[in-house]
Chains A and B, each alone.
Chain A
């Protein structure tokens, strides 16, 4: 299993979406949505509201390892850009955001420095914002909105009736009087709650990069990923080290004690072991000596040579017979004999006699095998000289 897969196994399944709205007079309103993922289902754990940044940070401190997605609205975010107007020309200082909701293109923009400064406030407290959205975050939830009335900026209202989306231009006084709401499956939500929920959903579906990627977000993603890896690695390291050392300690104690007892027993019977080893070595040495000196078998040379002579067929004679021939020792001074070999040379007038002789020899009980080495005619005679190699079976 790869390390990354292991980390995923230990990752938490909480996701936080926050809708932040700055008022023109410096007021702060934040609605948070805490989602928990259970295999295939999602559960909203909490949906608190905060009117100060410090309260929000205080709450987030208990969920420091969770990824955060923020939705920015209000002062500093220009939302009054819609399909009828031309999009602004690209600028390095502006974060421009365009999205389509049910065929309606909505746009918003803000200064990058403004957005980055808000994200940095979270980062300072080790809360990593992994995605940002400007204006009403509707994309993740638009398919489930059945009824809604939203004021976008100061000039346009978004009305949804039975899943039909419609943009309407409204006058300022009308907008103020119109209460904004979002209805999902007969449940009415405030826009902030709905946007916070949609932001948390953006994280669940790994949809963090809707907006132009900011450097601070890229850095946060890296830090968040490695923070999780670091914490999981520490946990795994501690758990595995503890388990391995504990098991090792148990095994060591068990075998150490067992060895102590066994060694005590062995010490008492040490002489017996030494004697056995000595006898074994002596036996081995004697066997080697007997084998090297052709002494390992009882001597039955005369008897076997006699048997070979008696088996000779008619008109067949022995020329030479060597029982355990002497080997040519190259370096050693020892005389070595091939104790299991008989080299036999004979002569006959018919080759059929050789075959018959071999068949007779094969019947001998002490024989392992017999091989015909050569048959050559003897010069100036009608006779054949043959040579046999006979291997004696080990006892």
Chain B
């Protein structure tokens, strides 16, 4: 066999050797190194776990307070909300123009009801009523507030206030 052919065979063999060395040896080592890096990260996470758990718990508690999850019976929530609204409207001499059917939605284990409410009354009175509604977060949360001046049937300008009130309840209860 001449040396030109032998040399070409060596080159071909080298290529095969490189490929097989990568597949059988180098790739596995690279995999072990990757696993080692991940394991190191996991160990780091284990070391930080107690502090992280505590931190997460605090954040969750704060977040849940912000969401204002309703603690009562979800089936009776419509009545409770109407009762509260009527009470406040009477207190601040504001007229409830309408309460539309609540928009219902679900998110993971949460059930959500959003009540569109229209009020008619003095700006200052409505603000006072809304402020009290906001201050009590046991039932739900005010998510939108709007004011607009419209003409009534007798061409008199009236202030119409629209608010959206959201009540969140958890399925887990």
Which residue numbers of A lie inside 8 Å of B, CB to CB? 222-223, 226-227, 229-230, 233-234, 237, 241, 244-245, 248-249, 251-252, 255-256, 258-259, 262-263, 265-266, 269, 272-273, 275-276, 279-280, 282-283, 285-287, 289-290, 292-303, 305-306, 309, 318-326, 333-335, 337, 339
Contacts and interface: CB of A to CB of B under 8 A. Distances in A.
Contacts of B28: 252
A120 B81 CA distance: 112
A322 B161 CA distance: 9
Given A302-B134, A302-B145, A337-B144, A266 B42 contact: yes
Interface in B1-37: 2-4, 6-7, 10-11, 13-14, 17, 21, 25-26, 28-29, 32-33, 35-36
Contacts of A269: 46, 49
A223 B3 CA distance: 6
A273 B29 contact: no
B59 A283 contact: yes
A136 to B, nearest CB: 33
Contacts of B59: 283
A252 B29 contact: yes
A140 B42 CA distance: 74
A306 B127 contact: yes
Nearest to B131: A302
B148 interface: yes
Given A251-B29, A255-B29, A286-B67, A276 B49 contact: yes
Given A248-B29, A282-B56, 7 more contacts: A265-B43, A272-B46, A273-B49, A279-B57, A293-B143, A296-B66, A302-B127
Interface residues of B, number: 64
22 contacts: A223-B3, A223-B4, A226-B4, A230-B6, A230-B7, A248-B21, A248-B25, A251-B29, A252-B25, A255-B33, A262-B36, A275-B53, A293-B166, A294-B166, A300-B134, A302-B145, A305-B127, A322-B147, A326-B164, A333-B103, A333-B105, A337-B164
A266 B46 contact: yes
A35 to B, nearest CB: 24
B31 to A, nearest CB: 9
Interface of B: 2-4, 6-7, 10-11, 13-14, 17, 21, 25-26, 28-29, 32-33, 35-36, 39-40, 42-43, 45-46, 49-50, 52-53, 56-57, 59-60, 63-64, 66-68, 103, 105, 107-108, 110, 112, 114, 123, 127-128, 130-131, 134, 137, 141-149, 164, 166, 168
B148 to A, nearest CB: 4
A285 to B, nearest CB: 6
**Nearest 10 pairs of A and B residues by beta carbon:** A302-B131, A262-B39, A226-B3, A279-B56, A255-B32, A302-B130, A320-B148, A230-B7, A272-B49, A322-B146
Contact of B143 (A244, A266, A337): A337
B145 A241 contact: no
A318 B147 contact: yes
B101 to A, nearest CB: 12
Classify the interface of chain A: helix, strand, loop or mixed.
helix
Contact of A283 (B13, B60, B148, B164): B60
Nearest to B26: A248
Contact of A233 (B14, B57, B144): B14
B74 to A, nearest CB: 16
Contact of A276 (B6, B10, B52): B52
A262 B57 CA distance: 28
A276 B164 CA distance: 36
Contacts of A230: 3, 6-7, 10
Contact of A241 (B21, B35, B127): B21
B32 A259 contact: yes
A335 B17 contact: no
A215 to B, nearest CB: 15
Contacts of A298: 66
A289 B39 contact: no
A273 B168 contact: no
Q: Which of A279, A300, A322, A337: most chain B Cβ within 10 A?
A: A279
B68 A295 contact: yes
A295 B141 contact: yes
A275 B130 contact: no
B53 A339 contact: no
Contacts of B57: 279
A252 B141 CA distance: 59
A372 B59 CA distance: 37
B124 to A, nearest CB: 8
B49 A289 contact: no
Contacts of A244: 21, 26
Given A309-B123, A335-B164, A326 B131 contact: no
A319 B131 CA distance: 21
A280 B67 CA distance: 18
